[in-house]
Amino acid sequence: MKKICRRQQVHGHPRSQHGGSRRGFAIITVVVMIAMVTACFVVLAEVFSYQIKLTNSTIARLQVDLLLTAGTQCVMAHMTGRNPPIKPWTVALPTALTKKDGRLNIAPIRMKPGKMSYTLTAEFAGLHAQHVLVFRQIAGRWRLIKVSIPQSLAGRSGMTSQ
DSSP string covering 51-110, please?
A: HHHHHHHHHHHHHHHHHHHHHHHHHHHHTTSSS---S-EE----HHHHTTT-EEEEEEEE
Task: Tell me if 25 is assigned to some domain.
Answer: no
In a domain, 97, yes or no: yes
Residue 67 near residue 104, CB atoms below 8 Å: yes
- Does a structural domain hold residue 46? no
pLDDT at 114: 87
Q: What is the number of structural domains in the chain?
A: 1
Within a domain: 84:
yes
| Residue 76 domain flag | yes
- CA-closest candidate to residue 106, choices 122, 123, 120, 92: 120
Range of the domain at 128: 61-161
CA 26 distance to own-chain centroid: 46
Whether residue 106 lies inside any domain: the answer is: yes
* Distance from C-alpha of 42 to C-alpha of 128, rounded to nearest angstrom: 33
Q: Cβ-count burial of 152 within 10 angstroms (0-12 exposed, 13-18 middle, 19+ buried)?
A: exposed
Q: Write out the chain's pLDDT in tens, 162 residues.
A: 555 555 555 555 555 555 567 888 889 999 999 999 999 999 999 999 999 999 988 888 999 999 999 999 999 998 887 778 889 999 999 999 999 999 999 999 877 888 999 999 999 988 889 999 999 998 888 999 999 886 544 444 455 555
Residue 67 forms part of a structural domain: yes
